[in-house]
Amino acid sequence: MEHVLGTGVSKGIAIGSALVKNESSSEFQKKNITDTEHEWDRFIKAKEEGRQQLEILVQQSREKIGEDEAQIFEAHILILEDEELANLVKTQIHNQKKNTEWAVHEAAEHFAVILEGLEDAYLKERAHDIRDVSARLIRLLSGTDKHEMSMMDKPYIIVARDLLPGEMVHIDKNIVMGIITEAGAKTSHTAILAKAMGIPAIVGAEGILDKVKDHETIIFDGEFGSIYISPEADVLDQYKQKLEALRVQKKELEDFKDKLSITKDGIAVELFGNMASIAELPGLIENSAQGIGLFRTEFLYTTKDTAPTEEEQFEIYKYTAEKMHGKSVIIRTLDIGGDKEIPYLGLDKEENPFLGCRGIRLCFDKVDIWKVQLRALLRASIYGDIRIMLPMITVVEEIRKAKEIINEVKAELKSNGILYNENLKIGIMIETPAAAIMADSMAREVDFFSIGTNDLIQYTLACDRMNPKVSYLYSQFNPSVLRLIKHIIDTGHEYGIKVGMCGEAAGDTRLIPLFVGMGLDEFSMNTSGLLEAKKVVTQISKYEMKEAVSSVLKLKTAQEVETYLRTML
């Protein structure tokens, strides 16, 4: 048995036999040719066929997966149509007197290698897109186009150096139980697509291709990144049990879809969904999300080479509002910086990105880009209950300035006769200790709070949320964080505004009872946590939990809190 660790990017346990894909580009033979015109004609024909295939893929992914994914193939069409690429193919055919397959490969590699040599992580990733287009052309030229994922007919775990977006879209969820790649990071397309499709996945599993052979049994946990190759019987049993337990649990939870989210003593608790792309919307609705508590809009910006236009954004926000039929849709404006980067914005490298120009600070710095988003949001606001949420607020002046800019955009729309919801609600994320401590001043300025525990924890405990060396400090059970949360909820209520939470802690079943006791109005989480959260809510009494809150807030360490909560339920 071998154990390999990668980065878990899509939750779930997968057990199955490996399908090892060593090569993502198609194979071809290098041949000498004499009829250069014929080879060029072959290129033109393959290009046309490739374009037709890609147009179908754009349409299919728009219907089956989502807009972001469709745009990946739109980008491929642009690469395919690129004149520089075509010119280089032509030069290779004419000068080297070699077949088109070879010329396409050489030309694509030329551009891919240049991109790979760049510092910028996003542009580096684009080398894969060029190779994907090249592989498509070569398959078409050599007649091996049938070798796509759709050929697989029994359950597999795909193990590959990397999977190209063109291959991902052919994956049948009923056959592919999981995906492991050597390459890729959390923002790579494989990760984005796997998550959107609900397939467990691990990326960055270094050396996996040298260790695993076709048909070998693999077990992996897409949450923690753990992979076992040819597992010993006891590990296999252990994971089979885990998988079975997950299946049973999932089935039992189905019953909660139709139940109300009400505590035993009759208090309604709102359970909302977090989303990063509209592909997640059907899942959230299916799992009875009572609203959207966090739409992370930065994802609309990070999956593309340019900022999304006002029209593109308007369509996405309108669609979301309409699908939620008048329920709250809290859309967080662009929250870039820290670990979230957008190469095309050309932002300066910062010594401490988490303490730098991120969230609302960046919205002010790139106000033109922000205004485009605000226009789209305001225009879409007449189609449902869209609310604007400002990220990374630290001082009250930021709220005032943001509202001024929003008012400017409203005035522009009004002067052009464009409708928007005059009563649109504006809220803030409370994710810095300063905002938490000054919650009273903040509450006077806004309509709602949403506690962003992911950042609140890192800033309160002064530990980078990405740094494994200090992860022992990073805990949602830390009493300092819990005291701040209690303070935020109490203060919000004192000023008559609603307080929600959209950080990961909102979906933590160990903490939900405590937050119910504190009076948190709305919990917003990923699709996978919704039904379990509802189950917990229905099993507790708010009255009893209020008493637990005072006991917990007297505890001194995160460990004590965790133990208390574990024994309490």
Range 334-353, binding ligand PEP (CB under 6 A) = 335
Q: How far is the CB of 465 from Mg ion (least distance, A)?
A: 9
SS (H, E, C) 275-331: ECCHHHHHHHHHCCCCCEEEEECHHHHHCCCCCCCHHHHHHHHHHHHHHCCCCEEEE
Candidates 455, 464, 508, 521: give the one binding Mg ion (CB under 5 A): 455
Residue 106 interacts with Mg ion (CB under 5 A): yes or no: no
Residue 503 interacts with ligand PEP (CB under 6 A): yes or no: yes
Helix (H/G/I), strand (E/B), else coil: 523: strand
Is 463 designated active site? no
Which residue, 167 or 455, has its beta carbon nearer to Mg ion? 455
How many Å apart are CA 188 and CA 367, to the nearest integer? 28
Residue 502 interacts with ligand PEP (CB under 6 A): yes or no: yes
Which residue, 186 or 213, has its beta carbon nearer to ligand PEP? 186
Calculate the alpha carbon distances from 278 to 9, 200, 270 in Å: 18, 19, 21
Catalytic residue among 76, 189, 357, 363: 189
Residue 337 interacts with Mg ion (CB under 5 A): yes or no: no
Give the tokens for residue 280: 């997640």
How many Å apart are CA 198 and CA 251, to the nearest integer? 16
69 binds, among ligand PEP, Mg ion, none (CB under 5 to 8 A by kind): none
Q: For ligand PEP, which stretch binds (CB under 6 A), given 149-157, 365-373, 446-454, 472-480?
A: 446-454
Residue 452 interacts with ligand PEP (CB under 6 A): yes or no: yes
Q: How far is the CB of 362 from ligand PEP (least distance, A)?
A: 13
503 binds, among Mg ion, ligand PEP, none (CB under 5 to 8 A by kind): ligand PEP
Which residue, 99 or 450, has its beta carbon nearer to ligand PEP? 450
The answer to whether 388 and 406 have CB atoms below 8 angstroms apart is: yes
Is 357 designated active site? no
Give the tokens for residue 422: 């005059």
Range 245-284, binding Mg ion (CB under 5 A) = none
Give the tokens for residue 111: 């551009």
Candidates 50, 452, 492, 519: give the one binding Mg ion (CB under 5 A): 452
The answer to whether 428 and 388 have CB atoms below 8 angstroms apart is: no
204 binds, among ligand PEP, Mg ion, none (CB under 5 to 8 A by kind): none
- What phi and psi values does residue 339 have, to the nearest 5 degrees? -85, -10
Query: Which residues, in sequence order, are bridge partners of residue 451?
Result: 430, 501
Which residue, 171 or 334, has its beta carbon nearer to ligand PEP? 334
Q: How far is the CB of 333 from Mg ion (least distance, A)?
A: 12
The answer to whether 76 and 304 have CB atoms below 8 angstroms apart is: no
Residue 464 interacts with Mg ion (CB under 5 A): yes or no: no
Which residue, 431 or 464, has its beta carbon nearer to Mg ion? 431
Size of interface with ligand PEP, in residues (CB under 6 A): 10
Q: In the stretch 271-310, what mask flags binding to ligand PEP with x, by CB under 6 A?
A: -----------------------x-x--------------
Which residue, 227 or 518, has its beta carbon nearer to ligand PEP? 518
Catalytic residue among 76, 357, 363, 502: 502
445 binds, among ligand PEP, Mg ion, none (CB under 5 to 8 A by kind): none
| H-helix segments, 3-120 | 36-64, 67-80, 83-96, 100-116
Range 148-207, binding ligand PEP (CB under 6 A) = none
Calculate the alpha carbon distances from 407 to 373, 375, 404, 423, 520 in Å: 14, 11, 5, 12, 30
Strands 201-203 and 217-221: unpaired
Residue 357 interacts with ligand PEP (CB under 6 A): yes or no: no
Determine which helix (DSSP H) or strand (DSSP E) holds 150, and give its type and residue range: none
167 binds, among Mg ion, ligand PEP, none (CB under 5 to 8 A by kind): none
- DSSP label at residue 347: P
Calculate the alpha carbon distances from 326 to 17, 45, 321, 381 in Å: 46, 50, 7, 10
Rounded (to 5) percent helix, strand, coil in the chain = 55, 15, 30
Range 414-433, binding Mg ion (CB under 5 A) = 431
Q: How far is the CB of 338 from Mg ion (least distance, A)?
A: 8
Which residue, 123 or 438, has its beta carbon nearer to Mg ion? 438
Candidates 454, 509, 538, 541: give the one binding ligand PEP (CB under 6 A): 454
502 binds, among ligand PEP, Mg ion, none (CB under 5 to 8 A by kind): ligand PEP
296 binds, among ligand PEP, Mg ion, none (CB under 5 to 8 A by kind): ligand PEP
The answer to whether 318 and 549 have CB atoms below 8 angstroms apart is: no
- DSSP label at residue 143: T
Which residue, 294 or 372, has its beta carbon nearer to ligand PEP? 294
The answer to whether 520 and 482 have CB atoms below 8 angstroms apart is: no
Residue 432 interacts with ligand PEP (CB under 6 A): yes or no: no
Give the residue nearest to Mg ion (CB): 455
How many Å apart are CA 486 and CA 305, to the nearest integer? 41
Residue 453 interacts with ligand PEP (CB under 6 A): yes or no: yes
Alpha carbons within 13 A on the beta-carbon side of 291: 23
Which residue, 101 or 431, has its beta carbon nearer to Mg ion? 431
Q: For Mg ion, which stretch binds (CB under 5 A), given 13-21, 283-291, 454-462, 554-562?
A: 454-462
- Close Cβ partners of 487 (under 8 Å, ≥ 6 residues apart): 436, 437, 439
Which residue, 452 or 517, has its beta carbon nearer to Mg ion? 452
The answer to whether 430 and 442 have CB atoms below 8 angstroms apart is: yes
- Comparing CA positions, the residue from 44, 108, 66 lying closest to residue 196 is 66
Candidates 431, 464, 522, 532: give the one binding ligand PEP (CB under 6 A): 431
The answer to whether 425 and 406 have CB atoms below 8 angstroms apart is: no
Residues that bind Mg ion (CB under 5 A): 431, 452, 455
Active-site residue numbers? 189, 502
Task: Name the residues that contact ligand PEP, by CB under 6 A.
Answer: 294, 296, 335, 431, 452-455, 502-503
